[in-house]
Chains A and B, each alone.
Chain A
Amino acid sequence: MIEVDRLTKRYGAFTAVDDISFQVGKGEIVGFLGPNGAGKTTTMRVLTCFLPATEGTARIAGYDIFDNPLEVKKRIGYLPELPPLYRDMRVRTYLEFIAKIKGVVPKESRRRIDEVVVQCGLVDRTEQLIGHLSKGYRQRVGLAQAILHDPEVIIMDEPTSGLDPNQIIEVRQLIRELAQERTVILSTHILPEVEMTCNRVVIIHEGRIVAVDTTENLTANMRDTTRFFVRISGDLDVAAKAIATIEGVSDVTRTNNGLHVHWSSEADLSAAVSARVVELGMGLVEMKREAMSLEEIFQALTMREERM
């Protein structure tokens, strides 16, 4: 459905997107994962024909984004990070305007608006001014705008940013519902979000693709390196040395109240670590598995790539 072919976007000397290629099949939900400034938004803006690519191209539903922008635009729904809303319009008026510029057949437009309003949970807000809506409702209006013309592809830039936890859950639910018959690309910098909503992940870092994988594989890969936090009552330096000698432990770092213990083997070394602490006659106060932060995953992935 979406084929991105060696896409590069430069702003002057700065390369925002550097030679990226990937494919997205029909019905897939793909997550763009990366820290702020990684090039996610730029990639999306190129795909939606808002910005031209410096080099390379992409095809959406078989149409080239550069040669056939109008055909591409008919087939995509786009929700930018800041929902593109006219604050002085009422929700229904806004959707009527969207229906017109997105080329919804006039006869169909009333029916489509009613459908979308129900889908996005806006039924009792249609007569309100958009400027008076809360952030969560504005995001819903943004989503309604993106799906109104029933596009084959939906592109969403950080659809859950700035929402409260309940709203995030609702929006994710909505995205999964929408994706049943459509292709979705969404960007985020939150790892669990990708795990919860996407089939496949494209990890972008400094404008380049660091990894493309299914969500399961990616999280499995992440488990290659396991990190435990161990809090001990006793001399931390002595304990650190002793734990570092355990076979399979790759790294031990000290913090002011405990130790971070890393191991990269498949085996679970937690028993060995706790045994070693007890052998030293020290108290094991706390031991917990730590999730790797996104920053660390990027570090791990970028380092892995350099090693290859």
Chain B
Amino acid sequence: MGNIMAIFGKEMRSYFGSPIAYVMAGVFLLFSGFVFRNQLLEFHDMAVYLKLSEREEKILLNVNTEVVTPFFEFQTFIWMIVIPMLTMRLYAEEKRGGTYELLMTSPITSAQILIGKFLACYVLYLLIEVMAFGYIGVLSMYAQLDWGPIFSGALAVVLIGATFISVGILASSLTENQIIAAVLSFFFLILLWIIDWAARFASDIFFVILKFLSLIEHTRDMIHGVVDTHDVVFFISAAAFFLFLTHTVLESRRWRA
């Protein structure tokens, strides 16, 4: 535990001691704020239009589905770009700078290093997310919100972050070049995101598999307010799987040829 905290502390210091954390938080909050604002203005326009048209039949206009849901959906999309930039340095930088040798020759296991690094990136992710939730907090002062879908959306954000970060860490452990690490994880995340597109043209068993692998499939319900244990288990096991792969990659260097 002490060892994990030592690595965690070091990574946190590195994130906040350099511009990385601030730039990434700034970029994320700016983009998600941009989307949030525009969705809100759209919603406002629609509401005004409906009121003016004075139609007989009632159309339900819901701030949750019109503003909060698209906000969550767009967030996960920005994270696909931002997370590779947060994770790319985790191992690649150590390898390039020679400090990987220091870690591997210290009395600390590669699992402890991995968990420490994962937690640091995850906590940074959650901190940025907490700030983004401020937008919803502001909205709640002026609108009647349905908190159920917001909590389930928050759960989706918490779960999908762990999966994204574990994919990014795997990419970083494969190379000593940060750019390659970022590009690898970026493309892999995009692939996982849109893989269900291929499912449309696949048959039988492949349809089921491709559909199952798609990240978008597993977030859709949760963002709309339906929490299915099957989705929760999917994200947790996906994160665990990629962390396990990373650990195997790191340990394989110690295998006898």
Chain A interface (Cβ within 8 Å of chain B)? 10, 45, 48-54, 66, 69-71, 73-74, 76, 78, 80, 82-89, 93, 97-98, 100-103, 145
Contacts and interface: CB of A to CB of B under 8 A. Distances in A.
B256 A102 contact: no
B256 A50 contact: no
Interface of B: 2-3, 5-7, 9-10, 13-14, 17-18, 97-109, 253-257
Contacts of B97: 84-87
7 contacts: A45-B101, A49-B254, A50-B105, A69-B254, A80-B101, A100-B9, A101-B6
A145 B18 contact: no
Given A100-B3, A101-B3, A103-B107, A86 B14 contact: yes
Nearest to B113: A101
Nearest to A86: B99
A82 B98 CA distance: 7
A80 B98 contact: yes
A52 B106 contact: no
Contact of A100 (B2, B13, B14): B2
Contact of B14 (A53, A80, A83, A88): A88
Nearest to B7: A101
A53 B256 contact: yes
A110 to B, nearest CB: 15
A200 to B, nearest CB: 24
B256 A101 contact: no
B255 A52 contact: yes
B189 to A, nearest CB: 27
Given A100-B3, A101-B6, A74 B107 contact: yes
Nearest to A69: B254
B13 to A, nearest CB: 7
A80 B14 CA distance: 22
A82 B95 CA distance: 12
Contact of A102 (B5, B10, B107, B109): B107
A71 B105 CA distance: 11
A10 B102 contact: no
Contacts of A70: 107, 109
A52 B255 CA distance: 6
B102 A145 contact: yes
Contacts of A82: 98
Given A53-B256, A97-B6, A73 B98 contact: no
